[in-house]
């Protein structure tokens, strides 16, 4: 980040000190640090995962964004890149992984399939968008998005991180953590425990 | 096993070392022009590339080739007074050929007679279903729907594009796909000329 | 290719005069076999006639005639055209067909697929469980009378899109707001079964070692979220200490219903969907599908298009093998550095695809009768530069970088061995088969397109271990470079499309099996047309999927750490495994 970006715009620095002194707020410094060390979950689903690997490789190099440390464990990661088609058989695992991630956590829906079901939307084993189950922060259209389009989406995540002040961000407040998302069940079709009330003769007490 | 244990590893490491040195040699031979210049970016994506290979998006961008396709857009011709005339006639061929069926078109009707007129009243593309296959652009008989080069579409919400979001001027189309636009313009002009001759 | 004349099968018909009838439906070929004679016929075919390689098993649902058909494609590993034979059974419940696993073990996963998607019970199958959907899923989705929750119409284009296409999301039309439906009377309260139970029962079913200590065996699940399963693949293993005593691949986590969607699409619409099968090598997928449909349409692509097709398919092979080499090295522990070297060359190839076809990965470049567009200006120069100057040098560099490395040699040589007999038995294809010493390559065994005009060697290695599979890929890259070099030199001028571009092609009724040598092995498309704009049956013989049949047998007896190495050396892509 350039020093003028880190500088708090509300503070006027005398002209003779410009370029030598940077005044910033704790928020900005803190979020700058956070946004420059987002660790994604090493987790590929489908075609988009290959473009994600390309984005991590030498030509696009997400190390420049501090994101090269892809953690295979959800416990150590901040960002979940949903890179591909989410199927009904896979969604319980994705929800479980999401629940295991510590807060603050972000989700990037990479590509059409993860965002809205994509070309496979009508398929009987396809979830029409991962946002049906877990909250998505950034949507990246494209099928698949090129690595540059993914980097563009990752910059949006950074933008979002920078706009979260410590004072008001939910996860720094007192109170319980975010409620876990109920893990979908595989029945005759996918069962979302949150939708039990929708069943015409559902009697789950 | 090779004759000396570790020889294979050393041989491999020498490849890495060579790459490391080449980066600096290449940097030197470009006199600082290797980065942030069009020629430098083109060099790094060419057969002569050696050493470090990274393109520093977002400061540098890999040039998109003419045929590159991303989510489609609608082409409009600009009139002399700046009015926008969409080329689309709402014939529906793009909806019929779209593999994931992500295009929705409402045909406009003449308010006076109620008959359909060749104009779309509504045109929606669900960018989160679109598979960027380019079949709509390939089979559009009016050169009205084309594949865009703009891939920086990441947003904080789901992307369903309507006709205002989709429309882009013909000059933009000519700027991203000069060869295709010139060829299609020539074909259209020839067709119009032959129609003139016939009507006379 | 289907059999042209029954001449070569005179003996076959003479041998089975009662049960074997030629398939006389217009556009169809092959034989219809009485199911009672299936096992006898198949073993005669294998042992007496030399058709030792079962390429594809699939089912077709003829709803109107109220029958199901199981279609077998069998070939000789020495080359030549194959035999197609079919079994017809009434569409009653249950539908039962004898299993061929005892004669062709390569049928194992394919029969499970047919059971899962069509509900055909293969009697005598050792482990008939659902494969893509989970145990307990309602219905067999590929049956023609089974409709998915978002079902709108039998065939595309959907009428709701035009001329008054008020945009409505499919989910807002569904009661549950998601892509789900339940059988009548179902309520989540009585959901008691465990979808995993059948898997664990199958896992426990193995030959126990009677001698030695009586130790507990543990079950370990790898995946579906695991860094070295190449996607969402799951491996369930039973371990005795570190030794694997049983292994079951579990798939379906990326089952995207290609075939169901493909039977609703028009013929041209399937082309971009094939890109997403094996998403590392979309051009080969296009090639296979185009060949199958062209066979049905009886169209021949133009000369220039043929050359461009071959060039693109070979470039795809190189890109795929580079990725495979990088990924295998990742799995062996050389995390990411070899991948970076491999991906660098792959990026340059993708640049060519992007310039020619418009997309790095999803090329959608082939059309029936040619290719979508001619090579744009300057791309031939790019190809020449890459293939005459850079790639040969760089491949040698990567080879030098890796193949003498002691760690790779000690983890690869003699590990994960698949013998030649087993490779044929399990219908292994591509580098997996050729590393075991079988020189079987569809480009030579049954040349398609214009492969008979090029000089290249069928790469073979004989040990069948992990290291040989890696080396086969290096050698194949070199052969592909040779082919592209020849194609560039011979590239003729002329049109690239034999037909007028049409958004709806007329495909006469009939069946066709188009197969190409994809980077991962024999990729086949079995397409049936009934004269309508959409195919009646669209089946993909996916090499990665069928290569996994051999995965368990290779691994049993190995150590747990070798599972990832073996998997990496088979080189699967989940888009193709699960489809």
Per-position pLDDT tens, chain C of length 579: 444 444 455 677 778 888 888 888 888 888 898 888 889 888 888 888 888 899 999 999 998 889 999 999 999 988 888 889 999 999 887 889 999 999 999 899 999 999 999 999 999 998 888 999 988 888 899 998 888 888 888 888 888 888 778 888 888 888 777 888 888 777 776 666 788 888 888 888 877 766 666 678 888 888 788 877 778 889 999 988 888 888 999 988 999 999 999 999 999 999 999 999 889 899 999 999 999 999 999 999 999 999 999 999 999 999 999 999 998 988 888 888 888 888 989 999 999 999 999 899 999 999 998 899 899 988 999 999 999 999 999 998 888 888 888 888 888 888 889 999 999 999 999 999 999 999 999 998 889 889 999 999 999 999 989 999 999 999 999 999 999 999 999 999 988 988 888 888 888 999 999 999 999 999 999 999 988 889 999 999 999 999 999 998 999 888 888 888 998 898 888 888 988
The reply to whether residue B129 touches residue A139, judged by beta carbons under 8 angstroms, is: no
Segment-wise mean pLDDT, segments of 10 residues, chain B, 200 residues = 71 86 88 85 85 86 90 88 85 89 88 84 88 90 90 89 89 90 89 82
Q: Given CB atoms, is B126 within the 8 Å cutoff of chain A? A: yes
Q: Note the ipTM here.
A: 0.91
pLDDT at residue A10, rounded to an integer = 63
Selected residue of C116, C170, C178 to mutate for chain A interface (largest A Cβ count, 10 A) = C178
Task: Provide, as residue numbers in chain A, all residues whose Cβ is less than 8 Å from the Cβ of B130.
Answer: 112, 119, 141, 143
The reply to whether residue C356 touches residue B67, judged by beta carbons under 8 angstroms, is: yes
The reply to whether residue B128 touches residue A116, judged by beta carbons under 8 angstroms, is: yes
The reply to whether residue B131 touches residue A146, judged by beta carbons under 8 angstroms, is: no
Domains observed in chain A: 39-157 (3.40.50.12280)
The reply to whether residue B46 touches residue C269, judged by beta carbons under 8 angstroms, is: no
The reply to whether residue A195 touches residue C323, judged by beta carbons under 8 angstroms, is: no
Does position A164 have pLDDT exceeding 80, yes or no?
A: yes
Task: Provide, as residue numbers in chain C, all residues whose Cβ is less than 8 Å from the Cβ of B95.
Answer: 157, 161-162, 165
pLDDT at residue C305, rounded to an integer = 92
Domains observed in chain C: 6-123 (3.30.460.80), 258-578 (1.10.645.10)
Core vs surface per residue C242-276: b (16+ CB within 10 A) or e: eebbbbbbbbbbbbbbbbbbbbbbbbbbbbbbbbb
The reply to whether residue A125 touches residue C225, judged by beta carbons under 8 angstroms, is: no
The reply to whether residue A57 touches residue C340, judged by beta carbons under 8 angstroms, is: yes
pLDDT at residue C4, rounded to an integer = 43
In this complex, the residue of C163, C169, C265 whose CB is nearest that of residue B90 is C163
> How far is the C-alpha of C98 from the C-alpha of C121, rounded, in Å?
8
Q: Chain B: give the shortest CA distance to residue A200, in Å.
A: 30
In this complex, the residue of C351, C364, C405 whose CB is nearest that of residue B134 is C364
Q: Given CB atoms, is B62 within the 8 Å cutoff of chain A? A: yes
- pLDDT grade, residue A176 (50/70/90)? confident
> How far is the C-alpha of B117 from the C-alpha of C175, rounded, in Å?
36
Q: Angle CA(C450)–CA(C452)–CA(C458) in degrees, nearest 5?
A: 120
Q: How far is CA C70 from the centre of its chain?
A: 18
pLDDT at residue B2, rounded to an integer = 47
Q: Given CB atoms, is B20 within the 8 Å cutoff of chain C? A: no
The reply to whether residue B95 touches residue C358, judged by beta carbons under 8 angstroms, is: no
The reply to whether residue C171 touches residue A128, judged by beta carbons under 8 angstroms, is: yes
Question: Which of A142, C368, A59 is closest to B69 using CA atoms?
Answer: A142
Strands (E), C35-142: 53-62, 67-75, 83-90, 95-98, 120-123
Task: Locate the chain A residue with the closest alpha carbon to C181.
Answer: A189
Within chain B, which residue ranges are assigned CATH 3.30.70.3270?
71-199
Q: Chain B: give the shortest CA distance to residue C224, in Å.
A: 25
> How far is the C-alpha of C419 from the C-alpha of C438, rounded, in Å?
10
Q: Chain C: give the shortest CA distance to residue A93, in Å.
A: 8
- SS3 of chain C: helix, strand, coil, percent, to 5: 40, 15, 45
The reply to whether residue B97 touches residue C157, judged by beta carbons under 8 angstroms, is: yes
pLDDT at residue C210, rounded to an integer = 67
- pLDDT grade, residue A1 (50/70/90)? very low
**3-class SS string, C388-444:** HHHHHHHHHHHHHHHCCCHHHHHHHCCCCCCCHHHHHHCCCCCHHHHCCCCCCCHHH
pLDDT at residue A66, rounded to an integer = 87
Q: Given CB atoms, is B197 within the 8 Å cutoff of chain C? A: no
In this complex, the residue of C133, C187, C256 whose CB is nearest that of residue A199 is C187
Selected residue of A39, A58, A122, A134 to mutate for chain C interface (largest C Cβ count, 10 A) = A122
Task: Provide, as residue numbers in chain B, all residues whose Cβ is less than 8 Å from the Cβ of C382.
Answer: 47
Task: Provide, as residue numbers in chain C, all residues whose Cβ is less than 8 Å from the Cβ of B96.
Answer: 157, 162, 503-504
Q: Which residue has better confidence, C406 or A203?
A: C406
Task: Locate the chain B residue with the closest alpha carbon to A145.
Answer: B151
- pLDDT grade, residue A7 (50/70/90)? low
> How far is the C-alpha of C422 from the C-alpha of C420, rounded, in Å?
5
Task: Provide, as residue numbers in chain B, all residues whose Cβ is less than 8 Å from the Cβ of A145.
Answer: 151
Residue A49, SS3?
helix
pLDDT at residue C137, rounded to an integer = 87
Residue B82, SS3?
coil
Q: Angle CA(C34)–CA(C40)–CA(C41) in degrees, nearest 5?
A: 60
Contact C536, C421 (CB under 8 A): no
> How far is the C-alpha of A118 from the C-alpha of A110, rounded, in Å?
11
Q: Given CB atoms, is A132 within the 8 Å cutoff of chain B? A: no
Selected residue of C135, C140, C170, C180 to mutate for chain A interface (largest A Cβ count, 10 A) = C180
> How far is the C-alpha of B63 from the C-alpha of B42, rounded, in Å?
8
State which CATH number among 3.40.50.2300, 3.30.70.3270, 3.40.190.290, 3.40.1280.10 fits the domain covering B71-199.
3.30.70.3270
pLDDT at residue C79, rounded to an integer = 84
> How far is the C-alpha of B15 from the C-alpha of A203, rounded, in Å?
67
Task: Provide, as residue numbers in chain A, all residues whose Cβ is less than 8 Å from the Cβ of C257.
Answer: 120, 122-126
């Amino acid at each position: 980040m350039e020093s003028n970006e880190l500088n708090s715009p509300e503070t006027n620095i005398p002209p003779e000190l410009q370029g030598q002194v940077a005044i910033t707020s704790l928020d900005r410094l803190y979020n700058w640090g956070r946004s420059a060390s987002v660790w994604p979950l090493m987790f590929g689903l489908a075609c988009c995962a290959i473009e994600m690997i390309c984005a991590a490789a030498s030509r696009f190099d997400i190390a420049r964004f501090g994101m090269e440390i892809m953690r295979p464990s959800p416990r150590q990661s901040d960002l979940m890149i949903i890179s591909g088609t989410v199927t009904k058989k896979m969604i319980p695992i994705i929800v479980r992984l999401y629940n295991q991630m510590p807060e603050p956590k972000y989700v990037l829906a990479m590509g059409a399939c993860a965002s809205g079901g994509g070309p496979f939307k009508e398929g009987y084993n396809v979830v029409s968008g991962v946002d049906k189950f877990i909250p998505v922060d950034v949507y990246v259209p494209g099928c698949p998005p090129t690595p540059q389009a993914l980097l563009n989406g990752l910059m949006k995540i950074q933008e979002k991180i920078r706009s979260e002040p410590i004072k008001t961000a939910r996860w720094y407040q007192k109170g319980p953590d975010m409620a876990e998302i109920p893990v979908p069940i595989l029945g005759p079709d996918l069962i979302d425990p949150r939708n039990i009330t929708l069943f015409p003769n559902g009697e789950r007490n | 096993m090779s004759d000396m244990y570790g020889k294979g590893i050393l041989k491999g490491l020498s490849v890495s070392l060579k790459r490391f040195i080449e980066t600096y040699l290449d940097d030197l031979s470009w006199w600082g022009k290797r980065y942030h210049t069009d020629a430098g970016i083109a060099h790094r994506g060419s057969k002569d590339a050696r050493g470090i290979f990274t393109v520093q998006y977002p400061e540098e961008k890999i040039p998109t080739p003419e045929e590159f396709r991303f989510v489609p857009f609608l082409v409009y011709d600009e009139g002399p007074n700046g009015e926008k005339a969409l080329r689309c006639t709402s014939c529906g061929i793009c909806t019929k050929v779209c593999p994931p069926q992500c295009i929705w078109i409402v045909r406009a009707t003449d308010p006076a007679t109620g008959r359909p007129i060749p104009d779309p009243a509504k045109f929606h593309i669900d960018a989160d279903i679109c598979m960027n296959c380019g079949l709509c652009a390939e089979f559009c008989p009016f050169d009205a729907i084309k594949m865009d080069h703009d891939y920086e579409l990441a947003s904080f919400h789901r992307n369903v594009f309507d006709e205002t979001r989709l429309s882009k001027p013909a000059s933009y189309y000519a700027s991203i796909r000069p060869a295709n636009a010139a060829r299609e313009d020539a074909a259209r002009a020839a067709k119009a000329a032959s129609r003139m001759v016939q009507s006379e | 290719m289907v059999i042209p004349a029954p001449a070569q099968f005179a003996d076959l018909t003479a041998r089975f005069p009662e049960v074997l009838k030629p398939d006389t439906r217009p556009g169809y070929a092959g034989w219809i076999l009485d199911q009672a004679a299936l096992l006898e016929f198949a073993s005669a075919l294998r042992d007496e006639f030399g058709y030792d390689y079962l390429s594809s098993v699939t089912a077709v649902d003829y709803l109107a005639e109220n029958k199901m058909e199981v279609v077998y494609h069998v070939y000789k590993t020495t080359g030549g055209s194959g035999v197609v034979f079919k079994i017809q059974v009434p569409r009653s419940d249950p539908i039962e067909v004898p299993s061929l696993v005892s004669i062709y073990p390569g049928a194992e996963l394919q029969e499970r697929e047919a059971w899962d998607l069509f509900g055909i019970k293969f009697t005598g199958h050792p482990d008939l469980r659902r494969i893509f959907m989970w145990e307990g899923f309602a219905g067999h989705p590929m049956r023609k009378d089974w409709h998915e929750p978002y079902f709108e119409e039998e065939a595309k284009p959907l009428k709701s899109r035009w001329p008054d296409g008020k945009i409505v999301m499919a989910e807002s039309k569904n009661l549950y707001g998601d892509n789900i439906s339940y059988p009548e009377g179902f309520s989540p309260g009585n959901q008691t079964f465990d979808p995993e139970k059948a898997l664990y029962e199958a896992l426990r079913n193995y030959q126990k070692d009677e001698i030695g200590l009586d130790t507990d065996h543990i079950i370990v699940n790898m995946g579906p979220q695991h860094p070295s399963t190449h996607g969402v693949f799951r491996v369930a293993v039973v371990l005795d200490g570190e030794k694997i005593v049983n292994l079951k691949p579990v798939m379906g986590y990326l089952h995207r219903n290609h075939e169901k969607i493909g039977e609703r699409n028009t013929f041209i619409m399937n082309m971009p969907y094939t890109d997403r099968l094996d998403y590392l090598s979309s051009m080969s997928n296009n090639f296979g599908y185009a060949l199958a449909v062209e066979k049905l349409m009886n169209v021949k692509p133009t000369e220039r298009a043929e050359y461009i097709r071959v060039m693109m398919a070979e470039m795809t092979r190189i890109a795929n093998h580079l990725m495979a080499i990088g990924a295998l090295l990742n799995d062996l522990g050389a995390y990411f550095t070899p991948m970076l070297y491999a991906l660098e060359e792959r990026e340059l190839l993708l640049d060519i695809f992007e310039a020619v076809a418009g997309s790095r990965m999803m090329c959608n470049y082939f059309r029936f009768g040619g290719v979508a567009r001619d090579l744009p200006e300057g791309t031939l120069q790019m190809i020449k530069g890459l293939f005459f100057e850079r790639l040969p040098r760089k491949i040698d560099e990567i080879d030098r970088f890796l193949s003498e490395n002691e760690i790779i040699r000690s983890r690869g040589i003699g590990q994960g061995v698949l013998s030649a007999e087993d490779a044929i038995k399990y219908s292994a294809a591509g580098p997996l088969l050729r590393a075991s010493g079988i020189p079987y390559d569809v480009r030579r065994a049954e040349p398609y397109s214009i492969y008979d005009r090029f000089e290249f060697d069928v790469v073979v290695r004989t040990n069948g271990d992990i290291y040989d599979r890696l080396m086969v890929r290096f050698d194949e890259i070199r052969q592909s470079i040779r082919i592209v070099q020849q194609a560039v030199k011979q590239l003729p001028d002329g049109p690239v499309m034999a037909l007028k571009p049409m958004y709806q092609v007329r495909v006469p009724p009939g069946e066709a099996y188009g197969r190409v040598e994809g980077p991962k092995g024999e990729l086949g498309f079995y397409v049936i047309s009934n004269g309508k704009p959409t195919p009646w049956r669209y089946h993909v013989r996916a090499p990665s999927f069928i290569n996994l049949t051999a995965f368990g047998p290779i691994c049993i007896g190995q150590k747990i750490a070798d599972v990832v190495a073996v998997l990496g050396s088979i080189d699967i892509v989940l888009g193709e495994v699960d489809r």
